[in-house]
Structure 1
Amino acid sequence: MSLIANTPTPPYYAVIFTSERHEGDHGYAAMAERMLALAAQQSGFLGVESARSDVGVTVSYWADLESIKRWKANAEHLEAQRLGKERWYSAFKTRIAKVERDY
């Protein structure tokens, strides 16, 4: 299985989540695995790519802005967001971009 998302012909959207984590896991790995499985079930989800070093970068790909809004409002995802603010992240930022070309 490739670690690079197999995205369709543009246009589509990318949600870029960058973060700095506190020391320790504190349930992070299990929640990250659950969120990936849950996102994959959402209408409009196209794939994800992720890397972590000093800064974590996760890029998820979506068919449209409405799919992104539904994912942001998902009850389990809202709980993960709350825990991220409380337990896991010392800093984070989310950016949304329209992909107009890929090659």
Structure 2
Amino acid sequence: MVRVDVRTAIRSLFRYNQMSQANLKTNYRQTPYWGYRPDSSTQQIVNNTKWTINNYQKDGYRSPFAQFILINRADHRPHRAEATYSWDFLKHFSRNSAGQIVDN
């Protein structure tokens, strides 16, 4: 089960960004660890370990607005793949002159 501070951070992320998930009740039996059902999910083998990539959409954006990755039996050492996945997610966004996040 995920720690209470992580649960609070995830919910705060959804609320702060005015995502529809903020209005949903968590269900850790239905969606282990995160509690929120992703809009899409894929699994990949990275460094001989299964990664589950969970994407959460926000109305008005083509790309996922939040992404949580669960690494099966993570060894908690940084891997190059983490940087690659981060860049693949973040490259879709920038800020306009008003400071608003836009989907490129």
Task: Please say whether Structure 1 and Structure 2 have the same fold, judged by a TM-score greater than 0.5.
Answer: no
Normalized per residue, the structure richer in strand is: 1
Normalized per residue, the structure richer in helix is: 1
Greater relative contact order: 1 or 2 (C-alpha under 8 angstroms, separation 6 or more)?
Answer: 1
The TM-score normalised by the length of structure 1 is 0.32
Mark the structure with the bigger radius of gyration: 2
